[in-house]
Amino acid sequence: MNHVVVVGAGLAGVRSVEALRAHGFGGRITLIGEERHRPYDRPPLSKAVLAGEADSTFVESDLDAMDVGFRPGVSAKGLRPGVVETTEGELPYDGLVIATGATPIRLRGEGPQHVLRTIDDALALRELFAGGPAVAVVGAGWIGAEVATAARKAGCEVTVVEAGDAPLAVALGAETGAYTIPWYERAGVRLLLSTRVATVDPDGITLADGTPLKADVVVTGVGVRPAVGWLDGSGIRLDNGVVTDEHLRTSLPGVVAVGDCAAWWSRRFRTRLRVEHWDTALGAPDVAAASLLGEDAVYDPVPYFWSEQFGHMVQYAGHHQAAARRVLRGDPAADPKWAICWLTADDRLAAILTVDRPRDLVQGRRLVEGGQRLDVERLMDPAITLRDC
Ligand code: FAD
């Protein structure tokens, strides 16, 4: 293999380049990215950058020292075996890493609509929030909750409009998400649940029942779609992202996929997973690079992510869809530090969500990995160390 092309210069792309070199690949590497920036981290965009504590989040990686041909501002437009078609001509490859991430979904309507995906989005929003405008955030998912936190901190009047019955309903289920409703109240954020938005208008939004809601700034946080449109017609298998096996190999020989755009086969959970979180973009490239270079590597993590919202550190590990039931560890009404454990039918931990209990998260992740049976009575007692359950 002489030339590897990596498409997408986000975290998964830059980690792929590093992993290729770490696995001893001495050939040519070209990294192309649609954005005009060096690779940077996205989690701080909705946290430190919006809060004015950071202006840039570049990933520390010396592309020159790794002898990588980095081409910012270049997009992939199409793929045929052995050739990536780009906005700057054709790029032949022997090996290809697809790391094009995901793109925010936008709502209908003629009004100005902000999303938060790039550093440019974050800096623009920060400037707007500084004026203390009325902000409507559409969606109480991870991004919506973090944007609402930052906007409120900046002194904005904030309304969050959520179609589900609770915040985080899509990610965690409404029953679990409902435990975060008091966080909105305490922060002085107005939360409209079970409320759909029809359009974004020049002076705010219109709800599905026709009610207008005035806002100076509208931020849409209703999810993302894998950025794989450029692969249409390439013959590569797509189904909620780029379909890969457990080695992160796609249906085309010599092509692997990583990060937000990849739907990989999870040996552990016996299902296909596409996880739009930082830890996946960080960890998957090592396996993808090894697979591309002919090594036998399997990507089989316990998925992990975190979110910082309304002064709480929320962390999650596992795959709760594999669970039969859910138990509370602690009482969210009485103690701000609590956790939820999702258990299989035979009392093994499938997933854990922790709020301000980082030790539970670390131990819980190990319990999901280990797969041992647990004493559920002990598990429900937050005074008992999780690893002793
Ligand atoms: P991306 O970071 O999306 O990178 C893909 C790159 O490919 C982009 O630069 C894109 O422009 C480029 N690209 C797309 N199409 C093309 C094309 N056709 N040609 C060339 N280039 C292309 N995760 C957590 O676990 N915890 C958090 O707290 C957290 N906070 C977040 C906050 C924000 C605001 C955002 C946006 C995400 C957050 N995430 C968080 C998610 C995490 O950042 C993502 O999972 C991670 O960035 C995915 O990395 P990636 O490299 O797969 O994709």
Give the span between the Cα atoms of 248 and 263, in whole angstroms: 9
pLDDT in tens, 89-140: 999 999 999 999 999 999 999 999 999 999 999 999 999 999 999 999 999 9
Q: Which atom of ligand 1 is nearest to the CA of 279?
A: 25
CB 318 within 8 A of CB 354: no
22 assigned to some structural domain: yes
Res 9 pLDDT > 90: yes
pLDDT band of residue 48 (cuts 50, 70, 90) is very high
Query: 134 has which bridge partners?
Result: 157
Span 353-381, average pLDDT: 96
- Taking all residues of the chain, what is their mean pLDDT, rounded to a whole number? 97
Query: 37 has which bridge partners?
Result: none
Cα 344 to Cα 73, 114, 322: the distances in Å are 47, 40, 7
Q: Which atom of ligand 1 is nearest to the CA of 122?
A: 34
299 assigned to some structural domain: no
What Rg do the C-alpha atoms of the chain give, in angstroms?
Answer: 22
Same domain, 112 and 208: yes
Answer with the one of 220, 238, 253 that is the final residue of a domain. Answer: 220
CA–centroid distance, 114 to ligand 1, in Å, is 17
- CA 355 vs. chain centroid, Å, equals 18
So what's the pLDDT on residue 14? 98
Span 37-64, average pLDDT: 96
Give the span between the Cα atoms of 44 and 103, in whole angstroms: 18
Pocket test for ligand 1, best of 6, 34, 86, 219 (most atoms within 8 A of CB): 34
Same domain, 30 and 132: no
Strands 217-220 and 224-226: unpaired
Same domain, 136 and 235: no
| Of 310, 389, 385, nearest in space to 349 by CA | 389
304 assigned to some structural domain: no
So what's the pLDDT on residue 384? 95
Cα 260 to Cα 144, 227, 341, 379: the distances in Å are 18, 8, 25, 33
Q: Whose CA is nearest to atom 4 of ligand 1?
A: 10
Res 16 pLDDT > 90: yes
So what's the pLDDT on residue 189? 98
So what's the pLDDT on residue 146? 98
pLDDT band of residue 67 (cuts 50, 70, 90) is very high
CB 101 within 8 A of CB 260: yes
Give the span between the Cα atoms of 300 and 124, in whole angstroms: 38
Same domain, 99 and 110: no
pLDDT in tens, 135-186: 999 999 999 999 999 999 999 999 999 999 999 999 999 999 999 999 999 9
Cα 168 to Cα 55, 173, 240, 251: the distances in Å are 28, 7, 20, 33
Q: Is the CB of 144 under 6 A from ligand 1?
A: no
CA–centroid distance, 346 to ligand 1, in Å, is 36
Q: Is the CB of 352 under 6 A from ligand 1?
A: no
Torsion over CA of 157, 161, 162 and 168, rounded to 10 degrees? Answer: -10
Give the total number of structural domains in the chain. 3
Specify the CATH number for the domain of residue 336: 3.30.390.30
Q: Is the CB of 145 under 6 A from ligand 1?
A: no
CA–centroid distance, 40 to ligand 1, in Å, is 9
CA–centroid distance, 239 to ligand 1, in Å, is 19
Same domain, 94 and 182: no
Q: Give residue 346's domain range.
A: 311-388
306 assigned to some structural domain: no
Predicted complex ipTM exceeds 0.90 = yes
Res 281 pLDDT > 90: yes
301 assigned to some structural domain: no
Answer with the one of 182, 199, 220 that is the final residue of a domain. Answer: 220
Q: Which atom of ligand 1 is nearest to the CA of 75?
A: 19
Res 322 pLDDT > 90: no
Same domain, 236 and 275: yes
CA–centroid distance, 211 to ligand 1, in Å, is 34
Pocket test for ligand 1, best of 16, 18, 100 (most atoms within 8 A of CB): 100
Task: At 349, list the tokens.
Answer: 């931990």
Specify the CATH number for the domain of residue 180: 3.50.50.60
pLDDT in tens, 302-319: 999 999 999 999 999 999
Task: At 145, list the tokens.
Answer: 């909750």
CB 247 within 8 A of CB 255: no
Answer with the one of 171, 203, 220 that is the final residue of a domain. Answer: 220
Res 199 pLDDT > 90: yes
216 assigned to some structural domain: yes
338 assigned to some structural domain: yes
Same domain, 154 and 84: no
Q: Is the CB of 356 under 6 A from ligand 1?
A: no
